Amino acid sequence: MDYVIEMLNITKEFPGIIANDDITLRVKQGEIHALLGENGAGKSTLMSVLFGLYQPEKGTIRVKGKEAVIKGPLDANALGIGMVHQHFKLVHNFTVLQNIVLGMETVKGGMIQMADARAKVMALSEKYNLLVDPDALISDITVGMQQRVEILKMLYRDNDILIFDEPTAVLTPQEIDELMRIMKDLVAEGKSILFITHKLNEIKAVADQCTVLRRGKYIGTIQVADTDKETMSEMMVGRKVNLTVEKAQAKPGEVVLEVKDVCVKSVREGHEQNVVDHVSFQVRKGEIVCIAGIDGNGQTELVQAITGLSGMSQGSILVNGEDMTHKSIRYKNTHGVSHIPEDRHKHGLVLDYNLAYNLVLQQYFEPSFSKAGFLKKDKVNAYADMLIEKYDIRSGQGRETITRSMSGGNQQKAIVAREIMKDPDILLAVQPTRGLDVGAIEYIHKQLVAQRDSGSAILLVSLELDEVMNLSDRILVIYEGAIVAELDPKETTVQELGLYMAGSKRKEAKQDA
Partner 1 sequence: MRKKKFDYTGVLSSVFAIVIGLLMGLVILIICNPSQAFPGFITILTGAFTHGAKGVGQVFYYSTTIILTGLSVGFAFKTGLFNIGASGQFIVGGFGAVYVGIMCENLGSMHWIVALLAGVCLGAVWGAVPGLLKAFFNVNEVISAIMMNYIGMYAVNWFVKSYKPIFNNIRNESKPVLSSANIPKMGLDKLFPESSINGGFIIAVLAVIVIYLVLDKTTFGYELKAVGYNRDASRYAGINEKKSIILSMVIAGAIAGLAGACLYLAGTGKHIEIVDVIADEGFTGISVALLGLCHPIGILFSGIFIAYLTAGGFYLQLFEFSTEIIDIIVAIIIYFSAFALIVKMLMQKFGKNRQAAKKQESGPGAEEASQKGGNRA
- Is 465:173 a contact under the CB 8 Å cutoff? yes
Q: Would you tell me how many other CB atoms lie within 10 Å of the CB of residue 370? A: 17
| Binding piece for partner 1, criterion CB under 8 A, among 166-174, 209-217, 253-261, 375-383 | 375-383
Minimum distance from CB of 43 to partner 1 (Å)? 25
Q: How far is CA 263 from CA 199, 312, 338, in A?
A: 35, 6, 22
Minimum distance from CB of 434 to partner 1 (Å)? 17
Nearer to partner 1, 57 or 423 (CB): 57
Q: Please report whether residue 375 would count as binding partner 1 according to CB under 8 A.
A: yes
Q: Specify the length of the chain in residues.
A: 513
Task: Count the alpha carbons within 13 Å of 5 in the hemisphere toward its beta carbon.
Answer: 29
Instruction: Sketch the per residue contact string, 259 through 288, with partner 1: x for CB under 8 A, - otherwise.
Output: ------------------------------
Q: Please report whether residue 373 would count as binding partner 1 according to CB under 8 A.
A: yes
Q: Please report whether residue 367 would count as binding partner 1 according to CB under 8 A.
A: no
Minimum distance from CB of 33 to partner 1 (Å)? 34
**DSSP single-letter state for residue 354:** B
Minimum distance from CB of 384 to partner 1 (Å)? 12
Measured between alpha carbons, how far is 405 from 173 in angstroms, rounded to an integer? 34
Measured between alpha carbons, how far is 310 from 307 in angstroms, rounded to an integer? 8
Contacts of 16 (CB under 8 A, 6+ apart): none
Minimum distance from CB of 466 to partner 1 (Å)? 28
Q: C-alpha dihedral over 327, 331, 337, 340, to 10 degrees?
A: 100
Minimum distance from CB of 347 to partner 1 (Å)? 4
Nearer to partner 1, 15 or 190 (CB): 15
Minimum distance from CB of 4 to partner 1 (Å)? 35
DSSP 30-73: T-EEEEE--TTSSHHHHHHHHTTSS--SEEEEEETTEEE---SH
Q: Would you tell me how many other CB atoms lie within 10 Å of the CB of residue 42? A: 26
Assign 449 to helix, strand or coil.
helix
Nearer to partner 1, 205 or 351 (CB): 351
Contacts of 289 (CB under 8 A, 6+ apart): 281, 283, 457, 458, 459, 460, 472, 473, 474, 475, 476
Minimum distance from CB of 339 to partner 1 (Å)? 7
DSSP 418-429: HHHHT--SEEEE
Measured between alpha carbons, how far is 258 from 437 in angstroms, rounded to an integer? 33
Nearer to partner 1, 89 or 330 (CB): 330
Minimum distance from CB of 54 to partner 1 (Å)? 16
Size of the site for partner 1 (CB under 8 A): 34
Instruction: Sketch the per residue contact string, 242 through 261, with partner 1: x for CB under 8 A, - otherwise.
Output: --------------------
Sign of CA dihedral 277, 304, 198, 240: negative
> Which residues in the 6-25 window bind partner 1 by CB under 8 A?
15
Instruction: Sketch the per residue contact string, 196 through 225, with partner 1: x for CB under 8 A, - otherwise.
Output: ------------------------------
Nearer to partner 1, 211 or 304 (CB): 304
Nearer to partner 1, 191 or 339 (CB): 339
- Is 233:241 a contact under the CB 8 Å cutoff? yes
Measured between alpha carbons, how far is 449 from 54 in angstroms, rounded to an integer? 42
- Is 472:490 a contact under the CB 8 Å cutoff? no
Nearer to partner 1, 37 or 348 (CB): 348
Minimum distance from CB of 309 to partner 1 (Å)? 6
Nearer to partner 1, 385 or 480 (CB): 385
- Is 31:208 a contact under the CB 8 Å cutoff? yes
Measured between alpha carbons, how far is 257 from 320 in angstroms, rounded to an integer? 6
Nearer to partner 1, 349 or 475 (CB): 349
Shortest CA distance to 174 belongs to which of 504, 513, 508, 512?
A: 504
| Binding piece for partner 1, criterion CB under 8 A, among 261-269, 374-382, 388-396, 501-509 | 374-382
Minimum distance from CB of 399 to partner 1 (Å)? 9
Nearer to partner 1, 365 or 423 (CB): 365
Minimum distance from CB of 290 to partner 1 (Å)? 22
Nearer to partner 1, 374 or 512 (CB): 374
Q: Residue 397, exposed/middle/buried by CB under 10 A (0-12, 13-18, 19+)?
A: exposed
> Which residues in the 306-365 window bind partner 1 by CB under 8 A?
307, 309, 328-334, 339, 341, 346-353, 357, 361-362, 364-365
Q: Which residues sit at the interface with partner 1, rule CB under 8 A?
A: 15, 307, 309, 328-334, 339, 341, 346-353, 357, 361-362, 364-365, 370, 373-375, 377, 381, 397-398, 400
